[in-house]
Amino acid sequence: MRPTWADIDLDAIAHNVRVFRGLVGDSELCAVVKADAYGHGAVPVARVAVGAGATWLGVALVEEAAELREAGIGVPILVLSEPGPSEMAAVAALAGVRPTVYSEAGIAAFAAAARVGSPVHLKVDTGMNRVGAEPADGVSLANGIVGAGLDLEGVFTHFASADQPGDGFTGSQVELFDEVLGGLSAVGLNPPIVHLANTGGTLTRPDAHRSMVRVGIGLYGVEAAQALRGRCADLGLRQSLRLRSEVAHIHEVGAGGGVSYGHRWVADAPTRLATLPIGYADGVTRAWWDGGCVLIGGKRRPIRGVVTMDQVVVEVDDGVAVGDEAVLLGGQGEEFLGVGEMAESLDTIGYEVLATIGARVPRRY
């Protein structure tokens, strides 16, 4: 078998859940496990998160909710975007799974498929401009939910930039959302579950914790943005994924020898190189070659030449041998490669780094 896999530290995830549990007091904690728990494995992560204090789970797809139910996980699950009308019967058949709704068509479709009194959550778009009801339509849609025989259990919105401390737009979103809540209350609608805060909002806006928070990337010990790296470190959040491989081949290239496709890197002196059986098909982005490195023998080893689909080449010294462990994310010895560090180098975010670690990389727990 290829000596490449991702170690998933479930104790780290449990620790991170407890950290957030301590931050939010009496608020419910929704652990977001969409996209296979950001590449960590939805079922094992959900079990550990619930055991550590999460009271809800959040997913993106109906199929993701079904996977959790089939695994015997029974806490409430929220599908974070409105399922299509043809999917609502499947939602209704999954006990305790709540759909998000924000259109008359979605409300009607779920009401036609679900039992009277089935709970839903109304999403209001306060400025993310992605999905959700217009704030001006909040009361009419809420009335439509109740009129259709459904239970308006929750109402929520999603922050666009709460991962930037002091960002003014987040405050504008809170104000607009509170206006919607006020409108609902004026007609006698006071849903028991109100939620605004994602990981960034949970860390930067205690006033937005309300009755529930939705924590995603923070569960995995990764900062939502570079600006929150220090805050996450101060809280003691622990990165839960370690991506590793091994040295499969060693050779030397002379001065002037190019490495990998396009010879984007050329040796200026005789250089010893190690090849690792992991590549961009496994989530190691091709562009990571430019400034990227790998840990071997507790030292940072620079990548030489572009990352290919199945292999990475790094510069090493005489102390490295075939079979030595190579770490692409996580710690080895005194060194550590953070998901956020890779993301920053690639001008992306930690979410993408985690989500693109391919399915052909086995997860070991």
Give the CA distances from residue 285 to residues 1, 40, 190, 310, 318, in Å, rounded to whole numbers and listed in that order. Answer: 23, 18, 47, 11, 27
102 is catalytic: no
Q: Which of 34, 38, 220, 351 is catalytic?
A: 34
Decide: 189 and 146 in contact? Cβ < 8 Å: yes
Cβ–Cβ < 8 Å for 296, 246: no
d(CA 59, CA 41) in angstroms, rounded, equals 13
Residue 167 φ/ψ, nearest 5 degrees: -65, 130
Supply 216's token pair.
Answer: 């995603």
Virtual torsion, Cα 91, 92, 94, 97, nearest 10 deg: 70
What totals of helices (H) and strands (E) does the chain contain, helices first? 12, 20
CB 219 within 8 A of CB 49: yes
Q: What tokens were used for 65? A: 């909710």
Give yes or no for a contact between 330 and 353, defined as CB atoms under 8 angstroms apart: no
The active-site residue, picked from 102, 123, 261, 365, is 261
Exposure on the CB side of residue 355, measured as CA atoms within 13 A: 10
Count CA within 13 A, CB hemisphere, residue 336: 8
C-beta neighbour count of 57 within 10 angstroms: 27
* Residue from 108, 129, 107, 130 nearest 120 by CA: 107
Whether 261 is a known active-site residue: answer: yes
Q: What are phi and psi of 32, to 5 degrees?
A: -85, 115
In this structure, the number of other CB atoms found within 10 A of the CB of residue 263 comes to: 12
Residue 199 CB: number of other CB atoms within 10 A?
Answer: 28
Question: Distance between CA 162 and CA 143 in Å, rounded?
Answer: 30
| The pair of three-digit structure tokens given for residue 222, joined into one six-digit string | 């990764």
Annotated active-site positions, please?
Answer: 34, 261
